[in-house]
Amino acid sequence: MEKRLSTRGLEKLQKRNAIRFGIFKAIEIPKSEKHHCRGYTLLELVITLTILSIMVLIALPLAENAVRRQREMQLREALRQIRMAIDEFKRDATGACLQGAITTVNPTQAPQLTFVPADPRSRVVIDDCTIFSSDNLDRYPPSLEILVEGVRVKPRGLNLKTKSAFEDGLGESGETKELKKVYLREIPIDPMTGKRDWRLRSSYQSRDSDTWDGINVFDVRSASDEESLSGDKYSDW
């Protein structure tokens, strides 16, 4: 009995020491279970990678379309800014340099002086005749750069006291100050080409003209021949 008690007491002491010092006996896993666990983990990894690949393939075209759609919005905004500047220049050119406006659709025909009332949105008239060539009878801007550089203008119309309609256009001595109007802060970059390489068209050219005749700037188009998301070409916008 003493031997048994001593043996049992020794075993209990060993167990207590093992628990106290964190010594645990490793549990052995059968080889069959090890192979099963490894195979199951590899299958999960393959399935996960497959799902991720499918998601990437779906997301890439959507991301590309989103980028193209943003560039298309930038192109429309750039075209709107330039065309609005051209139209504003044209309004201020009505009645410029001559009493009345020269209206014609063909520069080879003899000019005809006809009175055209000024647009009520135009408060000034261009006062620099040197910017218009003899061929530019329609009085559109001769270049895009001049919209950024600005042109000399004068107030349109006089009041009853024969003073300028713009009081801020008068100097201290009553003389009219020289005014310069800028129509465009800067020439926008074509987002489709990344350059300021707009295709220009004068008022004497057809819409499908490939080259600019240099007479005036009636319209601008993108230099890109790529198709938009809607199927039409950017150069047709």
Asked whether the predicted pLDDT for residue 141 surpasses 80, the reply is yes
Share of the chain above pLDDT 70, in %: 67
pLDDT digits (tens, 9 = 90+) for 181-222: 999 999 999 999 999 999 999 999 998 888 999 999 999 999
Q: Model-level pTM?
A: 0.64
Say if residues 235 and 223 touch (Cβ distance below 8 Å): yes
pLDDT digits (tens, 9 = 90+) for 5-18: 466 666 766 666 66
26 vs 98, residue with greater confidence: 98
Task: Give the pLDDT mean for 119-134.
Answer: 89
Strand order in the sheet with 124-126: 124-126, 151-155, 179-181
Position of tokens 């905004």? 77
| Predicted pLDDT at 10 | 65
Task: Give the pLDDT mean for 65-90.
Answer: 95
Instruction: Estimate to the nearest angstrom the gap between the alpha carbon of 217 and the chain centroid.
Output: 22
pLDDT digits (tens, 9 = 90+) for 24-77: 454 455 555 555 555 568 888 888 888 888 888 887 777 888 899 999 999 999
b/e map 59-68, b = 16+ CB within 10 Å:
eeeeeeeeee
